[in-house]
Structure 1
Amino acid sequence: MTQQGVRWTADQVLALAPDAASREAAGRLATAGPWSEVGSTDGGTVWGVCRGGGGGPYRTVVDVADASGPACTCGCPSLRYPCKHALGLLLLWAGGDGAVPEGEPPAWAERWVTGRREDAEAAAGTETAETGAAGAEAAGAEAAGAAGDPSGSVSRARDPVAARRRAERRAERITAGATELEQRLADLLRGGLAEAEQTGYAWWEETAARMVDAQAPGLASRVRELGSTASSGPDWPVRLLEECALLHLLDQGWLRRDRLPQDLAATVRTRVGLSATADGPAVRDQWLILAQYDSVDARLTTRRVWLYGTETGRTALLLSYGAAGRAPELTLPVGLSLDAELSTYPGGGRRRAALGKRFAPPAPVEIRPKGVTPSQALARYGRALRDDPWLESVPVTLEQVVPVPDGDSWQLADASGETALPLTPAFGNRAGLWRLVALSGGVPVQVFGECGHRGFTPLTAWPAGPGQAVSLN
């Protein structure tokens, strides 16, 4: 690692786990009993052989020192990444009690680490060469056009023209889908929300399928959410009406996108499901890794990683995806910092970013993000809604707050007790709540999370005094 000999904490290791089951299994493997041939280098390579119950032993290697991010390999057949063996080995190493001594890696571990780093260097070289070749090709075509040779300019123009036509055809299909969706929403409201309870989920699924046919996956996703809202508990008609209004607003935003401000129009395009590229300028910073968590549905696993620029003060979101049943490969341990470049995507707020060049592996840092009060957090969410009315939440760090019970739920109150934010109901049913309560012990702590109309979801916390970040996922 950048700071030689510095080991991760157990919380930073567990932040890499793709799910709760992996964390539990890793905890059972974090003892010396199942392991043999373990070792590590001060450069950040850890290896060992785990006695497996289903066909082991499994050779496991973890590389935490590569600038492209922590990575691992294991002989087990698990589809999870990292697998429980890699996590258990890292927990054993993080204990720092001599169970994983320093030494020279065996040939099988050395081969994997060397091969991986050589592949990363080759990929970086290929990317540089392709960029240079693209620039040379563009310059050559420009020179050919200037010399009276039309072949260069024609070849350059053909692909952009075709791409523009494809984009226009897709926009037409989305417009037709949005128009149809407006009529369906009008019919629903004209008949009364009581009918939504009787029609069942099939009507919503059929409507979502129509939006998929219209190449508007964002609209399809929102329609499916509407279907799950109907008859979903107390006050469901109110929530369904609110979501219908937001969907109507998105439809109208698309149909009138030419009249919108540039950033808001970009937000609308993203919300209906059009992809975009990270066109913002690359910003280099020491990015503090605030939180990492996954959300899973039947088709996709989405990983969200929140970063905080220690010099710029900006908060950025990285998104990565994995097919159903497989975790995304991007893993960044919470509490460390990453020297890297980020480029933002278009849209209101420009929170989402793409990870660019990395200059060093993740390393420990003492800096914490700047915090605000609960009332300031609510005001920040309100301002963000002007740029993106469909925004569920904003990233916020709360300063000097205490978790306190509020009837059957919990809230985070500021040190004075004058203002508080309710915790989202889903978080109140998770083990993270009790980790937060135990960390606080009635003393104000610093908490990072997502603040929205459903409340505040804590993701990471820091103790009142010196101490490492604690993941609450």
Structure 2
Amino acid sequence: MVWTEEQVRALVPDAGTLKRGLELARPAPWQNLGTTSRAVWGECAGSGARPYQTAVDLGEPAFKCSCPSRVFPCKHGVGLLLLLAREPQRFGPLPEPEWLTEWLSKRQTRQTPAKAENVAPPVDETDNAARQKRESQRLERMQLGAQELERWLTDIVSQGLAQLDRAPASFWEQQAARLVDAQLPGLAATVREVAGLRYTGPQWPERLLGRLGELYLLTQAFGRLDQLPASRRADVLQLVGVNVKKEDVLGRQPAVADTWLVVGLVTTEEERLLVRRAWLWGISTGRYALVLEYSFGGQAFATPLLPFGTYRGGLAFYPGTLPLRAAAAADWEYCGLRGDILPPGLAPAELLDGYARALGQQPWLRQWPATVAGVVPVLLPNGDLQLLHPASGQALPLHPDSQLGWGLLAASGGYPITVFGEWDGQVLLPISFTSAAAPVSAGI
């Protein structure tokens, strides 16, 4: 595999580690650089007498370093991989050192699944009864919180949106805090998001009213949980903030086997957490999947994923009406890069029709995977960007905060391109694209 600097950067969870890694991406601090088909390694001079032993298992990739950092990848691992991308000729085909072979062997042992025993653990009826009681008490507390939110929303609409012009930040934050106390973090996050819609454009009252309506609909659905089908019940519980454990999904949901292409990675920061949305597309099944993961304190994300990398294995999808979020099963295996394809592209009208049908099934849908083909990036007189579809004359507005918008404009050269992104019902957040001028570029 030939590494690019862009792929390495996508593996680094925070800007600080990337900056320090860039400082080490030069030959001077390194010695005994070597590589094989499965790993790359080197020794980096540090403040102590002994250099730090640094290695990368290229299969996932996974990082090892003898430095005291608890962040993976550390700056040494990032610097090593960046140096490989920039100057691969400095890495000779050397025999693997003993410390590297030992680490790789231990990793292989851990990844070999143990033989499962067909003996079910005994069921402790006392523990089961206590758990059910706790769940019942929590649900009651959540129902009371949702009812309070319903009254709050009704008051806002009855008094008119004009009052929100004078509402201080505490008006929203106090309601969000009450929802957190009621164990409804999903609703609390939505209240804070709605507060941020004020004064964000000429149509902000309409968009704010729409989001308040979605919140009200969610409180109504939550109040009727016992009347909902299982898939819709799963939607509502996850939206209000009930966490579904990854282990439960992998243990209970059937895995969909395919070769999965990473078509886009988006990393954002939320309350001291790094959040990564990784969009995958099944080459055989044609199915989209969202691998959503969190990183705290600079730790690496649980599932190593490269832009436009392909991975063979199963994905277990979280329950819901329109299952998109998924978790990688134990057979997940890296297969290489595919810079020549994106999912089949749609015209804007086809995208909007598909989104409307999806919204009819899941009315709280916020991020819908979308690939549009034959579009030309256009700069409007007011400075906004849009994707024009010359064949139909239709256009899709681009998200104003997109980091890729100007890159699309430059790389297309005025010619049609294919773009993958997230459609939220109003604007498209572009994440990756292909064009004749630039065969592959990745987004955020």
TM-score clears 0.5: yes
The partner residue of 2:358 within 381, 384, 407 is 384
Deviation, structure 1 residue 466: 9.3
- Is 1:314 aligned to 2:297, yes or no? no
Q: Could you state the TM-score of these two structures normalised by the residue count of structure 1?
A: 0.83
Instruction: Count residues with an aligned counterpart.
Output: 437
Q: Do the aligned partners of residues 54 and 296 (structure 1) sit closer, same or farther apart at CA in structure 2, a change above 3 Å counting?
A: farther
Q: Distance in 2 between matches of 1:306 and 1:444?
A: 23
Q: Distance in 2 between matches of 1:55 and 1:397?
A: 53
Q: Deviations over 1:392-445 (max 9, x none)?
A: 121112223222212211112235362221110010xx2x33433343222322
- Is 1:301 aligned to 2:269, yes or no? no
Q: CA RMSD in A?
A: 2.8
Q: Do the aligned partners of residues 394 and 53 (structure 1) sit closer, same or farther apart at CA in structure 2, a change above 3 Å counting?
A: farther
Q: Distance in 2 between matches of 1:437 and 1:55?
A: 51
Structure-to-structure mapping, 1:196-345, within 5 angstroms: 196-230=164-198, 234-276=202-244, 277-278=248-249, 279-323=252-296, 325-345=298-318
Q: Do the aligned partners of residues 413 and 27 (structure 1) sit closer, same or farther apart at CA in structure 2, a change above 3 Å counting?
A: farther
Q: Do the aligned partners of residues 114 and 84 (structure 1) sit closer, same or farther apart at CA in structure 2, a change above 3 Å counting?
A: same
Amino acid of the residue matched to residue 16 of structure 1?
Answer: L
Find the residue that maps to 1:425 and give its secondary structure: coil
Q: Deviations over 1:44-75 (max 9, x none)?
A: x011233458999543211112xxx2111234
Q: Distance in 1 between matches of 2:156 and 2:421?
A: 36
Maintained 8 Å contact 1:79/1:326 = yes
Q: Distance in 1 between matches of 2:379 and 2:47?
A: 44
The partner residue of 1:421 within 388, 396, 406 is 396
- Is 1:73 aligned to 2:64, yes or no? yes
The partner residue of 1:354 within 316, 327, 333 is 327
2:119 corresponding residue in structure 1? 136
- Is 1:398 aligned to 2:369, yes or no? no
Q: Do the aligned partners of residues 415 and 191 (structure 1) sit closer, same or farther apart at CA in structure 2, a change above 3 Å counting?
A: closer
Maintained 8 Å contact 1:297/1:324 = no
Gaps of 5+ in 1: 1-5, 142-154
Q: Do the aligned partners of residues 21 and 379 (structure 1) sit closer, same or farther apart at CA in structure 2, a change above 3 Å counting?
A: farther
Gaps of 5+ in 2: none
Q: Distance in 1 between matches of 2:373 and 2:50?
A: 48
Maintained 8 Å contact 1:30/1:91 = yes
Find the residue that maps to 1:331 and give its secondary structure: coil
Maintained 8 Å contact 2:411/2:438 = no
Deviation, structure 1 residue 321: 1.6
Deviation, structure 1 residue 185: 1.7
Deviation, structure 1 residue 309: 0.9
Amino acid of the residue matched to residue 10 of structure 1?
Answer: E
Find the residue that maps to 1:101 and give its secondary structure: coil
Maintained 8 Å contact 2:398/2:405 = no
Q: Could you state the TM-score of these two structures normalised by the residue count of structure 2?
A: 0.88
Q: Distance in 2 between matches of 1:343 and 1:9?
A: 30
Deviation, structure 1 residue 97: 4.6
Find the residue that maps to 1:363 and give its secondary structure: strand
Deviation, structure 1 residue 87: 2.9
1:373 corresponding residue in structure 2? 347
Moved more, 287-296 or 48-57: 48-57
Maintained 8 Å contact 1:286/1:311 = yes
The partner residue of 1:116 within 107, 129, 132 is 107
Maintained 8 Å contact 2:35/2:93 = yes
The partner residue of 1:42 within 16, 37, 45 is 37
Structure-to-structure mapping, 1:448-459, within 5 angstroms: 448-459=420-431
1:17 corresponding residue in structure 2? 12
Q: Distance in 1 between matches of 2:198 and 2:129?
A: 44
Amino acid of the residue matched to residue 228 of structure 1?
Answer: G
Q: Do the aligned partners of residues 381 and 34 (structure 1) sit closer, same or farther apart at CA in structure 2, a change above 3 Å counting?
A: farther
1:444 corresponding residue in structure 2? 416
Amino acid of the residue matched to residue 119 of structure 2?
Answer: A
Find the residue that maps to 2:173 and give its secondary structure: helix
- Is 1:410 aligned to 2:385, yes or no? yes
Q: Distance in 2 between matches of 1:411 and 1:55?
A: 56
1:471 corresponding residue in structure 2? 442
Q: Do the aligned partners of residues 87 and 64 (structure 1) sit closer, same or farther apart at CA in structure 2, a change above 3 Å counting?
A: same
Q: Distance in 2 between matches of 1:55 and 1:216?
A: 52
Maintained 8 Å contact 1:302/1:328 = no
Maintained 8 Å contact 1:310/1:367 = no
Q: Structure 1 vs Structure 2: percent identity of aligned residues?
A: 38
Deviation, structure 1 residue 329: 3.5
Moved more, 187-196 or 217-226: 187-196
Maintained 8 Å contact 1:447/1:459 = yes
Amino acid of the residue matched to residue 154 of structure 2?
Answer: A
Deviation, structure 1 residue 287: 0.9
Amino acid of the residue matched to residue 172 of structure 2?
Answer: W
Find the residue that maps to 1:358 and give its secondary structure: coil
